Amino acid sequence: MQKHRLNAEQKFKEKNVTREKTTLNRPARAISFGGSAGLNKTFKKAFNSTVEFVNENEAAYNAIYSLIVAGLLKPLFVLNMPGSEEKDKQIVATKNFLQATLGCVLSLTIGGGFIKKANDIVKNNKKLIKLGENDTIEVVDHTSAKALELAKDVLKKENSGFGYKFKTALSAIKDTPASDKISAFKKAFKESKYTPTIDDIVSKSKSMVENLEKNHLEAFKNNPEFLKELKSGLGNATSYDDAFEVFWKNSTGALTAILKAKISSLLLPGVMAFLFAKKNLEREMQERANKNATCNTTLKNQQDQFRKMMNNKESNQISFKGNIISSAIDGTASLIEKAGMSKHFGEPITKTISKFKKPSARMSDFESFAITAYWLQNTARSEKIEPSQKLGLNVHSALVTLVSSTAAFIIDWALDGLIDNSKKNYKNKLEQIAESVKDMANGENLDTTLKEVPDKIKMGIRDEVVKLLNSKQTSEGFAQITQDEIDAIVSKLKNTKTFEGFALDENLVKKAAQSLEKSEPIRHQIAKSCQDLIGAKDIAKNLSVAIGNDESVAKEIAKLTGKYGKKLSKFKSLTIFTLVVRFLVPVLMVPFSGKLKKKIIEWTGGKALQNNDSKKTAKK
3-state SS, 19-53, equals HHHHHHHCCCHHHHHHCCCCCCHHHHHHHHHHHHH
Q: Could you give the angle at the alpha carbon of 387 between the alpha carbons of 385 and 392, nearest 5°?
A: 85
Q: Which residue has the higher pLDDT, 60 or 454?
A: 454
pLDDT digits (tens, 9 = 90+) for 383-409: 767 776 677 778 777 888 899 999 999
Most confident of 20-24, 102-106, 252-256: 102-106
Among candidates 472, 468, 476, 546, which has minimal Cα distance to 513? 468
Q: What is the pLDDT of residue 193?
A: 83
Q: What is the pLDDT of residue 22?
A: 38
Average pLDDT, stretch 63-84? 80
Q: What is the pLDDT of residue 611?
A: 63
Say if residue 221's pLDDT is above 50. Answer: yes
- In which band, very low, low, confident or very high, does the pLDDT at 619 lie, cut at 50, 70 and 90? low
Cβ contacts of 451 within 8 Å, gap of 6 or more: none
Q: How far apart are CA 412 and CA 201, in angstroms?
A: 43
How far, CA to CA in Å, does 256 sit from each of 86, 103, 264, 286, 417?
Answer: 30, 8, 12, 27, 34
CB 446 within 8 A of CB 519: yes
Average pLDDT, stretch 120-130? 92
Average pLDDT, stretch 280-308? 55
Q: Could you give the angle at the alpha carbon of 44 between the alpha carbons of 42 and 50, nearest 5°?
A: 100
CB 70 within 8 A of CB 404: no
Q: Which residue has the higher pLDDT, 314 or 66?
A: 66
Q: Which residue has the higher pLDDT, 47 or 13?
A: 47
Per-residue burial over 322-353, b if 16 or more Cβ lie within 10 Å, else e, is eeeeebbbbbbbbebbbebbbeeebbebbbeb
pLDDT digits (tens, 9 = 90+) for 420-454: 999 999 999 999 999 998 888 766 678 778 888 89
- In which band, very low, low, confident or very high, does the pLDDT at 105 lie, cut at 50, 70 and 90? confident
Ramachandran angles phi, psi of 139, nearest 5°: -110, 135
Q: What is the pLDDT of residue 296?
A: 58
Can you name the residues that pair with 235 across neighbouring β-strands? 239
Collapsed DSSP state (helix, strand, coil) of residue 139:
strand
Say if residue 300's pLDDT is above 70. Answer: no
Say if residue 155's pLDDT is above 70. Answer: yes
Query: DSSP assignment, residue 404?
Result: H
Domain ranges in the chain? Answer: 46-159+194-424+564-619, 438-546
**What is the torsional sign of CA 254, 258, 261, 266?**
negative
Most confident of 30-34, 84-88, 263-267, 355-359: 355-359
pLDDT digits (tens, 9 = 90+) for 537-547: 899 988 988 88
DSSP string, 296-346: HHHHHHHHHHHHHHHH-TTT-----SS-HHHHHHHHHHHHHHHHHH-TTTH
Q: How far apart are CA 434 and CA 440, in angstroms?
A: 10
**What is the torsional sign of CA 374, 376, 378, 384?**
positive
Can you name the residues that pair with 138 across neighbouring β-strands? 130
Say if residue 507's pLDDT is above 50. Answer: yes
pLDDT digits (tens, 9 = 90+) for 127-150: 999 887 777 889 999 999 999 999
Q: What is the pLDDT of residue 310?
A: 45
Instruction: Say if residue 92 is exposed, middle or buried (CB neighbours under 10 Å; 0-12, 13-18, 19+).
Output: buried
Q: What is the pLDDT of residue 478?
A: 74
Query: DSSP assignment, residue 70?
Result: I
Report the chain's mean pLDDT, rounded to a whole number. Answer: 79
Say if residue 295's pLDDT is above 70. Answer: no
548: left (phi over 0), alpha (psi -120 to 50) or beta: left
Q: What is the pLDDT of residue 141?
A: 94
Q: How far apart are CA 514 and CA 511, in angstroms?
A: 5
- In which band, very low, low, confident or very high, does the pLDDT at 26 lie, cut at 50, 70 and 90? very low
Q: What is the pLDDT of residue 27?
A: 36
Q: Count CB neighbours of 490 within 10 A.
A: 20
Helix and strand totals (H; E) in the chain: 28, 4
Among candidates 577, 596, 574, 256, which has minimal Cα distance to 398? 596
Say if residue 4's pLDDT is above 50. Answer: no
Q: How far apart are CA 282 and CA 259, in angstroms?
A: 25
Q: What is the pLDDT of residue 126?
A: 93
Q: Could you give the angle at the alpha carbon of 74 between the alpha carbons of 69 and 80, nearest 5°?
A: 150
Q: What is the pLDDT of residue 30?
A: 38
* pLDDT above 90 as % of the chain: 29
Among candidates 138, 339, 332, which has minimal Cα distance to 228? 138
**Alpha helices by DSSP H, 159-232:** 162-172, 181-191, 198-211, 217-221, 224-232
Most confident of 119-133, 138-152, 469-483: 138-152
The length of the chain in residues reads: 620
Q: How far apart are CA 420 and CA 30, in angstroms?
A: 9
pTM reported for the whole predicted model: 0.73
pLDDT digits (tens, 9 = 90+) for 559-618: 999 999 999 999 999 999 989 988 888 778 777 766 776 777 677 666 655 666 565 565
Ramachandran angles phi, psi of 223, nearest 5°: -140, 70
CB 249 within 8 A of CB 58: yes
Q: What is the pLDDT of residue 112?
A: 67
CA 353, distance to chain mean position in Å, is: 18
Of the given ranges (1-5, 108-112, 577-581), which has the lowest mean pLDDT?
Answer: 1-5
**What is the torsional sign of CA 457, 460, 465, 470?**
positive
